[in-house]
Structure 1
Amino acid sequence: MMSYRFRTLLLAGALAGGPAALQAQERPLANSLSDEACVARDRDDVVVRVGIPIEKQLMCAGKESGSISYAAIPALPTGEARNAALLAAFEASRPGQIARGRLDCKPAQWVGDALALPCRARSGGWPTLVLAREANGLLTVVDGPASTFPALAAAVGATVEGSRPQQVQQLQTLWGEPVVLASAADVDRLSALLRDARIANGEGKYAVAEDLFRQALDVHTRLFSENDTRAAEIMMDLALNVSNQRRPDEAAALFRRAEPIMQRSANAADRARLATALGYDAANRGDFTNALAQARTAAEIWGQVATGTGAGADAINSSPTALVTLAKAETAMALNLVAQMAIRQGDPVSAYAAASESLGIFDATPGLPRRMRTDILTTLGQVSVAQGRLSAAETYLRLALDQRHKISGEGAATLRIRTLLGRAYETEGMHSSAIIAYRDALKAAKALPRDAMVLTTEDLIPFAAAVSGYAKTLSDPKEQQGLYAEAFDAFQLVRSPTVDRTIGQAAARLSAANPAIADLLRQTQDQERARDFARSRLAAEQALPDGERSSEVEDELKTAITEGDKKVLALRTKLTGDFPDYAAMAEGRPMQLDELRSRIREGEGIVSFLVGRSRSFVQLVRRDGVYIAEATGTEAELRDAVTALRRSLEIQGGSINEFDMARSHQLYRDLFAGIAPHMAGLDHLSFVPTGPLASLPFALLITEAPKTGRYEDAAWLARRAAIAHSPSLQAFYTLRTTRPAKTPDRPLLAFGDPILATPTRASAAASGTALAQLGGTCRQDAPMPPELLKALASLPDTAAEVRNVARVLGADDGNLFLGSRASEANLRQQDLSRYRVLYMATHGLLPGELKCQGEPGLVLTPPTTPAQSRAEDGLLEASEVASLSLNADLVVLSACNTATGGSRFGGESLSGLSEAFFHAGARNMLISHWQVPSAATASLMSNLFTSLGPQMASGSSDALRAAQLTMIGRAQTAHPFFWAAFVVMGDGAASTAPAASEAAE
């Protein structure tokens, strides 16, 4: 996973200072044009220089708004030469160079005898005024938002004449355009949002960072415009953030908004930043050729800016020191990206050249953040692995690990280096060394909260490979089991970004509804931000030359970090203790292997996967052991296989495609050949699929080579075992561990046949048009417009489907909500805890089918007029589901639109939706992967609920299997199109199963 690194230097510079102590001396200044009281406050975090006043902060309305700095300069000439001499002195001074490094400024002008530079802050884009004035050989330089003009003038001893409107006009004359007079509170809010967002992004807390970036963009757009370069810069921050979360479509939409703005910019640095961002995004998408080209473009432009040549000449000549440093830093990081992409392209020679040049630039440029150096060293380690130089790789990576750990502790970046070290050992066949390296990484990973855990499948696969390889050298089964048990942690840490996002949104809605949870979360986030801010300040302080570093400041920051860690841990412990249900959903809890095995019955197995770009692994957990083996097939190959099988399940020209039985059998062998001996004798299988496998109903795999072309003769996996799917190993464990507090007393509550399009419009074309409309709509927190849902195809056959299930279960018609009654409002009015079965026969919408929609949802009858809230708009989203109070043995989602064509399926979205239902109190779910003709659905459901019985005496997976076998036995319904669409999500157990403690005995 690629990190968004551009603007690192600016961030470090912004963090180099911190809030001054309250007891520092203050001097009143004039009020700002926003009528905020402003003072000059002594800074207590800088070195006092002999003969020079102590530097100060400009504070307005209690907010840090600017700076006041000083420099001793030679006496200036009098007369006409004075202004030119003052400008030259300013440019040569340390305060002047610092200001130039942070700001983009127009040509110098004059306010009385004071030099005036109308600028915009590079970080945030604020109109920032710089004033400089000399008196008795002392140069005073001040800067602050345009609204602080009177206070800035007072700070340098200049006189500003006229009324407030006249002063505003004077500012507009300086800028040559209208100027936004934002208050100190506005400036502080936007600056804090961007600072905290970039820190969170650097720590791998992508969901937190995304929320902060979106808030920052809203604030910036309100104050300025969404069409200026600073807005585009925030859009690129946000685009890379969602790209890191593997949401490429959303990232592409943001880049489409930002790119034209940045391309029009006269500042070469803006185009360089765009190229860098596009490079990282392309790398996240696996388009390494494009990523390499963008990285080279960025390095070339930054190199021109750094040397004052080409398009960057004007910018560099206007700032001879600070911008040079920035440009060199960005050049180094662009070259580092070039090296990473060259590795991906199989060109280690070019990669080594680029990474070495990057390190050379860094080492020759004082004052750069040390974390940059760890990134470059990490890349050199990867290059050395590609070159087969293990000793060099180990040296680079251990040096990077040591330095990074000192900077940010055991965070996301440190974990990544640990896994790269393990990968290096595994590449050279040093399995035991790789396992040792991964032990440390996994131990640290399990201690991190969910929102900071960024180990990907690609990070974990080398560990599985090392374990699998080393196990082959062992002859003692007990030793093999001990080794396989270590790898269990890797499999349970695999998470889908789609599922994580759904859980995050559900958790956010739940916390918003509970003030006590919201308060604890707010305290935790505040403490985390303060601690992470201290870490960034410490990194910036340690990057200073030795003569400028302060051991006192470093010690204070280290203490603040330690204390912050303690406070965060205490708050998280309290959250878990006071609200265990919420914490279980939002945070998750790593299990011990023995805990899981104690919940598995004899004859039962749980299968999970690591599916990667170049190799894949499968794990089987039984009550009596755990086994790991390599599976045949990369992520792309498995996606192709699933896509091909799903196409065999489509109706074309009014008829069903032939099902590719040979390919089904081959996929079974590819996935399970390595663990096949240990699957023998198992009659219950639970699968925890990931990636493309999440859209595969495993029951349709064929375990033996087909001997005839008859579907009823095939050795379907459904013949061998009852099958359930689970969103995660933790979800399976939780469902097996939790027992309902009371038994539901009513058999069925059903919703179906929502009023959508009229039957004449209920065609595939009409539904496709409706989805296209949905795709262009961005409602964010607003209710869903009813006209969009009404454009979806109607589902009249679901009424008969629901009535048939009610007949089998002996349910009252009053519990069937069809047509106009199938509304979200009616659903919320029911006591959902009283029903054994909740049946939803309706469309499902996936993330991405609605612009800005990040979670799946179920469509109900929309209101006749626009809803006032999302609670009644007709789209029941996963985050809303999680807040319901269910007690259902089974939730059925029938007619869900979970296959959108091509290679894009909705399996992972179903997993996220299932997690929400499980949190709400469901114990099992029955979900359809495609819409089945009404007659086949009626037959399947009749058989399934007949097998289950009103008291749900048999397990849901057993009941589904029995219903499927009945249909397989009939030639007219043996094609898997008719019987394989439905899968059980959960643990598949019967409601009368023994308690967890009893099952373990």
Structure 2
Amino acid sequence: MIRSLSLLILALLLTACAGKGPPAPEQAAGPIAMGRNMIGEECRALPTDSADGEAYALYCGLWEQPSGTIAVTQLYDPLPEAPDARARQLVLETNRTAWAGSLAQKAICQPAQPVPGGLLAQCQLREGGWPYIGISLVEGRRLVQADGIPAVADLMMAAPALLKAGPVTQQQDISALLRAALGDEALRFGRGDLNSFERLSEVGRLSNSVEDYAGAEAAYRKALDLQARALGPDSPGAGDTLMALALEVSNQGRGPEADALFRRADALLQKSFDKAARARLGSYMAFHAANSGDARRALSLGRDSSAIRRALVDDLEEQAGGGANRAVLGSLAAARGDLIHSLLLEATVSLRLEQFGLAEAATLEAATLFSRTRGLPPWWHARILGMQGLARAGKGDAAGGAALMSKAVASNKQLFGAGWPVASSMLELGRVYAQAGLDAEALAIYREALSMVAGLDTERGQLPLDRLIPFLDTLYRMAQAEPDRRAEFHAEMFTALQAVREGVVGQTITRAAARFASSDPAVSDLIRQQQDAVRSRDRLRIELASETAKLDGQRDRAREEALVKQLQEATNVAQGLERQLQAAFPDYARLTKPGPVRPADLSSRLRPGQALVQFAFGMAGSYGFILTDKGVFAYPVPISRAALQDQVGELRRSITPRAGVLPPFDLDLSYDLYGRLFGGATDLLSDVKHLVLVPSAALSSLPPALLVRDRPTARDYAGASWLVRDMAVSVVPSVPSFLALAGTTARASAPKPFIGFAAPPFQGRDTGGLKALGEECRTDAALDPALLRALAPLPETADEIRSIGGRLGAAPADLITGERVTKAAVRGAGLDQYRIVYFATHGLLPGELRCQSQPGLALAPPPVPPSSPADDGLLTASDIALLRLNADMVVLSACNTAGGDARLGGEALSGLAESFFFAGARSLLVSHWQVPSVPTVRLMTGLFAGEGDIAVALARAQRSLASDPASAHPFNWAAFTLVGAAPQSDKGV
């Protein structure tokens, strides 16, 4: 993923160019009452330090941050009397003052317009585009300049009189003028709204700087919601927040959602007068193109953005000190920062295209700009060094590249400590060493990086697999070169793979953990304290690194010592709260930090004849891992993630009815895929009787039972060598979940045999309802019931649960159908009293989780839109994690992992399964597509008919249907997959 380096540039240091006029009279020593602002808050002006006349900060209500500032200076000469000459001279005088530099630091403005007594400029704050205004008033030789939010405009107009600087002869109420220009909303927000927005933006920036994209997304969503409530949904300033949000979504791989957000941002920014924001949009869209794999388009967009920004920098450098309006033209430091941002994008994409000369040129220009510009975020320096190192290594100078990247690692360590940014830069350095054949150096740096990753929490430890593949390549190469250490290297490869948790599964678990925390006030409060402490620690670390990076003559030793002490205290607090959280709430810890997994731990849990298989599908290289009770074996898998997606998609299409007719199933393609997945480990599977698969990528959307082991001779489904003819097959969503399930202590069996939920009152006619539901942008709001009503009805599932429940001795009251299938019914059913919990309804299993949404099960929609998501009819992964189960099995009978959004949704199913296990289920039986009730009932009857292992019973039932020519097409029997490691079944279950 690509990190945004300049979401917004803050605290840029500008030099003032105002000349000193005649001495100013002494300003008031205490606060001056200014009256009420437009939202009814009492305001006061407090004197502040100024080397140039008088200066005041305008405070309103109880807020500790000012709503505006006021500056009073003396003019050398009175302004001309002629109106045109007077206006021209006032503009020149205004632009020369320190106040003008301060305003340019905060806002971008339109050219000032005359108002009675002076000038009024409509502005936007650089952070978030909030409406802002600047006013210049003159009386004789006194120049009164003020800037602030529109709610204090009238007070600023009255400032000359209120500050006793002399009466203003033509003072007027300008609220009507501002209302016409800005809209009513612009006059109704106060300092409190800005405070909340700035805090959220700071969290977003800090989260982005440590590559916690999910955390940054959450912060920007809240910031955007605040802006919409304060300024309306179509405020031009919201375009800036929207594009920041879009980039965070893109960084998490949710391309179509990011596309829609960028389109919204573009429409709003068309109405903005901030040229820099529009250039920034082009740059962010270039990052998005790079995230989407379109490197050439990304490079084209990035170079266009750099050209625009370079021209702006040149203009500002020409105007420096020339009396031009810096708030109109923009801040030179901010413009340089934006250009650095574009140049690093150019470098990133050039590296992907192996155009190393272009990458090096871009990083050198960025480094020069950074060295000339004070006040830029200090972590940019490390990023520039790292990119320079990659470019140099790409040109063949591995030693020189590694030296630059080592400096980047050291800089990041100083800024962030042992966190993800350091681990990320170390992974890049390891790749350089590996590509240069320096295996020992690569191993050392990779091992240190993964040790850091292991200490991170789920949200901040999202390690993408492709960052790890070079490490796996190095270990595998060393294993081939040293056969006597092969087992050691293979075990290390497997252990390293467990650090990866990306995509939908990781997002689902993270959001379920957050919901679990919010359900318990004690957990929620402690987590909030711990997160605040971590942010405080990170902020202090950056401040300290910024101070120590200054030249000796500019460093403040007392401030450094104070920061060192504060940092140590903040670190101790964060670590103490983390220990307290893990000890007091182990369930939350189990979700967020499953702990390290060693192959020996797994092997000891595997029975003779049982094997666990996990794959790592990369963009270029892939690996398979087979674990038995004797150890672990790693082997290359000749299929990329994209090729796997294509092959699984083709197999899914061959089991999807068209116009009510089943197409031929592609036995040859299934055999080819089996060979690619397991051809490197055929001998190890010869004695396996139960295969436990940890699926990932597109393989999560394909039931393994329909893989074909021997080359087919004809379209003979009944005679095909399906995998389940030779062994039982089950899956687990993750390796830690296998360990947790295998280590579950025996619990008393629930007293009741079966409860079923089926046939909610849906009213749709096709599959379009699932697509619309998958594309719905849900955050904390309740789901629109109309989206659930639009799902296709499932009337036959009512007969399904009656038939299966009846065979298992279910009471009629435990067969819940129609309008009774509500979230309240599920929560109140006492599910921990049932051995089998059966859901026969649509599953929302999108290929990507939009807008902080989650996978879930569709239940009966409420008759009217609910006020809370607790009653909205979608049982999400978070809702499920809060249930209490004691079920030997949970059945999900009408799910479809083809995804409701036209993408494969098997990973969402894995995330959903994790939530059921957390709630107390010991196994799940889930469908990958909706199967007609007749073969489903046959399969379930066979499954529950006998004693023994449930995985073996499922394979036996599937073989029975597959051997019958009438039901041999895998559409009829292969959909159901056992998830988990259920205990031995008995006739009662």
Q: Same fold (TM over 0.5)?
A: yes
Q: 2:142, 2:165 within 8 Å by CA — same for their partners in 1?
A: no
Counterpart of 2:619? 613
Contact kept, 8 Å, 1:232 with 1:261, in 2: the verdict is: yes
2:728 to 707, 722, 726: 722
CA spacing shift, 1:114–1:588, aligned 2, 3 Å? farther
Task: Name whichever of 893-902 and 455-464 sits farther off.
Answer: 893-902
Question: Aligned residue for 2:18?
Answer: none
Residues 145-170 of structure 1 show CA distances to partners (whole Å, capped at 9, x for unaligned) of 33345776379764687999936458
Name 2:885's counterpart in structure 1.
Answer: 886
Amino acid at match of 1:962: R
Distance 1:359 1:940 in 2: 66
Match of 2:236 in 1: 229
When the two structures are superposed, what TM-score results if normalisation uses the length of structure 2? 0.89
Shift of 1:400: 1.2
- Partner amino acid, structure 1, of 2:5: R
Give percent identity, aligned residues only: 34
Question: Kindly tell me: are residues 977 and 388 of structure 1, through their superposed partners in 2, closer, same or farther at Cα, counting changes over 3 Å?
Answer: farther
Residue 106 of structure 1, aligned match among 100, 110, 115: 110
Matching residue of 1:97: 101
Report the counterpart of residue 872 of structure 2 in structure 1: 873
Structure 1 position 979, deviation (Å) = 1.8
Aligned-pair distance for 1:467?
Answer: 0.8
Q: Does 1:295 align with 2:299?
A: no
Q: Which residue of 2 aligns with 1:276?
A: 283
Alignment partner for residue 460 of structure 2, among 447, 452, 477? Answer: 452
CA separation in 2, counterparts of 1:521 and 1:293?
44
Residue 800 of structure 1 is matched in structure 2 by 799
* One of 990, 997, 1001 as aligned partner of 2:984: 990
C-alpha spacing 1:463/1:111, structure 2 compared with 1 (3 Å): same
CA distance in 2, matches of 1:214, 1:13: 29
Relative distance call for 1:815 and 1:901 in structure 2 (3 A) is closer
- The aligned counterpart of 2:518 is 512
Structure 2: which amino acid aligns with 1:615?
A: G
Q: How does 1:851-930 map to 2 (within 5 A)?
A: 852=851, 854-867=853-866, 869-900=868-899, 904-930=903-929
The residue identity in structure 2 corresponding to 1:462 is P
Q: Distance in 1 between matches of 2:56 and 2:567?
A: 25
* Residues 526-541 of structure 1 aligned to structure 2 (within 5 Å): 526-538=532-544, 541=547
Indicate the larger mover: 500-509 or 177-186: 177-186
Contact 1:610 1:616 in 2 (8 A): yes
Cα shift at 1:250 = 1.8
Deviates more, 1:282-291 or 1:676-685: 676-685
Contact 1:774/1:851 (8 A) holds in 2: no
Between 630-639 and 26-35, the greater mean CA deviation after superposition: 26-35
1:220 deviates by 1.2
**Of 616, 620, 632, the match for 2:638:** 632
Matched, 1:551 2:552: no
Distance 1:821 1:263, change over 3 A: closer
Query: Residues 112, 804 of structure 1: CA spacing in aligned structure 2 closer, same or farther, 3 A cutoff?
Result: closer
Q: Tell whether 2:761 aligns with 1:755.
A: yes
- Residue 902 of structure 1 deviates from its aligned partner by 9.5
Question: 2:34 corresponds to which letter in structure 1?
Answer: A
Q: How far is 1:114 from its partner? A: 8.1
Distance in 1 between residues matched to 2:736 and 2:970, nearest whole Å: 30
Q: CA deviation at 1:983?
A: 0.7
Specify whether residues 650 and 825 from structure 1 end up closer, same or farther in structure 2 by C-alpha distance, changes over 3 A only: same
CA deviations on 1:260-302 (whole Å, 9 max, x unpaired) are 2224444321221110111111111112122112211211111
> What is the CA–CA distance in structure 2 between the aligned matches of 1:250 and 1:265, rounded to whole Å?
23
1:323 paired residue number: 331
Cα distance 1:865–1:105, how it changes in 2: closer, same or farther (>3 A)?
closer
Q: Deviations over 1:170-190 (max 9, x none)?
A: 866998998524222122112
Q: Compared with structure 1, are the counterparts of its residues 723 and 776 closer, same or farther at alpha carbon in structure 2 (3 Å cutoff)?
A: closer
Question: For residues 524 and 364 of structure 1, what CA distance do their matches in structure 2 show?
Answer: 38
Q: Name the structure 2 match of 1:568.
A: 574
Tell me the C-alpha RMSD between the 2 structures: 3.7
1:964–1:529 distance in 2 versus 1, CA, 3 Å = same
1:131-146 to 2 correspondence within 5 Å?
143-146=147-150
Residue 6 of structure 2 aligns to which amino acid in structure 1?
F
Q: Secondary structure at the match of 1:687?
A: strand
Q: Which runs of 5+ in 2 are unaligned?
A: 15-28
> For residue 262 of structure 1, what is the aligned residue in structure 2?
269
TM-fit CA distance, 1:838: 0.5
Query: CA, structure 1 residues 715+389, in 2 after alignment: closer, same or farther (shift >3 Å)?
Result: farther
- CA gap of 1:28–1:266, structure 2 versus 1, over 3 A, is closer
In structure 2, relative to structure 1, the CA distance for the partners of 1:386 and 1:571 (3 Å cut) is same
Equivalent position amino acid for 1:257 in 2: R
Cα displacement (A) at 1:703:
2.5
Q: Distance in 2 between matches of 1:310 and 1:512?
A: 51
Question: What are the superposed Cα offsets for residues 76-105 of structure 1, whole Å, 9 maximum, x if unpaired?
Answer: 123439987776565445553242132112
Residues 343, 366 of structure 2: 8 Å contact kept: yes
SS at match of 2:908: helix
Match for residue 717 of structure 2? Answer: 711
> Which letter does structure 2 place at the counterpart of 1:78?
P
CA-CA distance at 1:56 after TM superposition: 7.6
Please say if residues 12 and 105 of structure 2, whose CA atoms lie closer than 8 Å, have aligned partners that are also in contact: no
1:841 matched to 2:840: yes
Calculate the TM-score normalised by the size of structure 1.
0.88
Deviation at 1:32, TM superposition (A): 4.9
SS in 1 for 2:738: helix
Match in the other structure for 1:825: 824
Structure 2 counterpart of 1:522:
528
Decide whether aligned partners of structure 1 residues 629 and 136 sit closer, same or farther in structure 2, where only a CA change above 3 A counts: farther
1:967 aligns with 2:961: yes
Alignment correspondent of 2:410: 402
Of 571-580 and 201-210, the range deviating more from structure 2: 201-210
Whether the 8 Å CA contact 2:599–2:631 is kept in 1: the answer is: no
Q: Does 1:688 align with 2:687?
A: no
Pairs aligned (count) = 962
Matches within 5 A, 1:111-190: 117-130=121-134, 143-149=147-153, 153=159, 158=165, 166=173, 168-169=175-176, 179-190=186-197
Farther-moved stretch of structure 1 (725-734 vs 921-930): 725-734
Residues 312-711 of structure 1: matches in 2 within 5 Å? Answer: 318-319=325-326, 323-476=331-484, 479-538=485-544, 541=547, 548-707=554-713, 709-711=715-717
Give the Cα–Cα distance (whole angstroms) in 1 for the partners of residues 87 and 564 of structure 2: 46
- 1:9 partner SS: coil
Deviates more, 1:515-524 or 1:114-123: 114-123
Partner of 1:812: 811
Deviation of residue 649 (structure 1)?
Answer: 1.4
Q: Is the 8 A contact 2:295 2:349 kept in 1?
A: yes
- Aligned to 2:173, the other structure's residue is in SS state helix
**More off after superposition, 125-134 vs 680-689:** 125-134
Using the TM superposition, give the Cα deviation of residue 419 of structure 1 relative to its aligned residue in structure 2, in angstroms.
0.6
Give the match's secondary structure for 2:766.
helix
User: How far off its partner does 1:846 sit?
Assistant: 2.6
What secondary structure is seen at the aligned counterpart in 1 of 2:232? coil
Report if the CA contact (8 A) 1:431-1:469 is conserved. no
> Within 5 Å, which residues of 2 pair with 1:1-150?
1-10=1-10, 27=31, 30-33=34-37, 34-38=39-43, 59-60=59-60, 61-65=62-66, 76-80=76-80, 88=92, 91-92=95-96, 94-108=98-112, 117-130=121-134, 143-149=147-153
CA distance in 2, matches of 1:543, 1:56: 32
